Every structure is written in C-alpha cells, then in structure tokens.
C-alpha cells in the first residue's frame, strides 16, 4: 500500500533521506522543516501519514499531535526522535501517535511501520462500517419463515420470553437481532 507521507523535521539530511528513500519505495512524500509549515502542508495536501520529529527547535512534537489530528482524525502520526524515552513514547501514544521511532532508524523499518499503520487504519474503518451496517437475514427457508411468524406472534406482548436452546453458542442472539432492531420503540430489549 503506497501512502502520502509528510515528513516534519528540522534536520535537512533526515528530511532529504526520508523523502528520497520513501519515494524510491513508491510513496508520495513532501517535507516541512517546522510545525507551522507542516500543518499548512497537511491541511492542503491531506497526507495519510505524518512522520513528526519530537524536537524542532524549542517546540515539542508531542504538543502538536492534536493539531494534526484536528485536521483529520485518521492521519497516522509516527513520532521520530533522537532523545526518546519510554515515558515519552507512552505520552505520544496517549495523544494520538500510532508509533514511536528512535533515530537513527532503518528506512525499511520506517516503510514497514507506515504500511502497518495504514493496514490498521483500514481494518478499523472496515470494522466501523460493519458495526454501522444493520444486520439482515439473507435467505429464507420454510423453517426460518415459521420461526419469524412465531416471533411476530409473540413480539407484541409485554411478556419476557427466554430462549434457552441447549447450550450457549447456538446463534440465539444472532437470530433474534434482526427482530429486536425492528421492534416498536419503547419495547424492552434484553
């Protein structure tokens, strides 16, 4: 998966080596040497990934993670630093970074981290879409039709019904979900 990568680092050699190396691997890369320049580029270009240096002059990258996330909550922030510690890495993750890399780093490692963060984003988006999609019964057999008819007969009552069909894991909740989501408003659900 090729990505749009924004490198925000005040060291010229780091910016150029990442731009050259990641471009050779097929990514689209733009660079910025300050946070303000990086935010402007991110707003205009909408990168998939931001490689954000933790120290740019007197400013800390940790303080700007939220600024990038405000532009697009799906931007994957990967912190890069020469002065790393476990507590800094934990703080970066709490603020929204998806990974933390210490300098010096291997270009193949950076590429792998970019790919994994994008795969993780793709999975989380897919899962969110699955959660938003209503469950529905795809096919209908004579037995399922009879079961649905029985359900429609019993559903208008205010009596609780317990389905105990043997052991757990037999699909009772899966089978009942389409009916409970179609129940009239105010009807108690399990």
**What pLDDT is stored for residue 121 in this prediction?**
85
- Do 99 and 107 form a contact (C-beta atoms < 8 A)? no
Q: How many domains does the chain have?
A: 1
CATH number, domain of 8, equals 3.40.50.2300
User: Is 169 inside any structural domain?
Assistant: no
User: Is 10 inside any structural domain?
Assistant: yes
User: Is 146 inside any structural domain?
Assistant: no
Closest CA to 95 of 57, 58, 69, 125: 69
- Do 75 and 52 form a contact (C-beta atoms < 8 A)? no
- Long-range contact pairs involving 8-13 (C-beta distance under 8 Å, separation at least 24): 8/32, 8/33, 8/34, 8/35, 8/37, 8/38, 8/50, 8/51, 8/52, 8/53, 8/56, 8/61, 9/33, 9/51, 9/53, 9/56, 9/80, 10/34, 10/53, 10/55, 10/56, 10/57, 11/53
User: Is 173 inside any structural domain?
Assistant: no
User: Is 71 inside any structural domain?
Assistant: yes
The 3-state DSSP class for residue 9 equals coil
User: Is 166 inside any structural domain?
Assistant: no
User: Is 116 inside any structural domain?
Assistant: yes
User: Is 94 inside any structural domain?
Assistant: yes
Domain span holding position 11: 4-132
List the pLDDT tens digit at each of the 190 positions of the chain: 789 999 999 999 999 999 999 999 999 999 999 999 999 999 999 999 999 999 888 888 999 999 999 998 889 999 998 887 888 888 999 999 999 999 889 999 999 999 999 998 888 888 888 778 776 666 667 776 676 666 666 555 555 555 555 556 555 565 565 555 555 555 555 4
């Amino acid at each position: 998966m090729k990505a749009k990568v924004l490198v925000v680092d005040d060291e010229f050699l780091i910016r150029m080596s990442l731009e050259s190396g990641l471009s050779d691997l097929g990514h689209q890369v733009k660079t910025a040497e300050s946070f303000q320049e990086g935010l402007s580029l991110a707003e205009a270009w909408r990168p998939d990934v931001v490689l954000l240096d933790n120290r740019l002059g007197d400013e800390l990258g940790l303080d700007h993670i939220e600024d990038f996330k405000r532009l697009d909550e799906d931007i994957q922030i990967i912190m890069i630093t020469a002065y790393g510690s476990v507590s800094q890495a934990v703080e970066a993750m709490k603020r929204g970074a998806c990974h933390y890399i210490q300098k010096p780093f291997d270009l193949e490692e950076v590429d792998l981290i970019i790919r994994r963060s994008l795969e993780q984003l793709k999975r989380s988006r897919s899962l969110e879409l699955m959660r938003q999609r209503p469950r529905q019964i795809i096919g209908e057999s004579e037995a399922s039709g009879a079961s649905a008819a029985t359900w429609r007969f019993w559903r208008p009552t205010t009596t609780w019904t317990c389905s105990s069909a043997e052991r757990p894991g037999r699909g009772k909740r899966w089978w009942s979900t389409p009916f409970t989501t179609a129940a009239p408003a105010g009807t108690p659900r399990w």
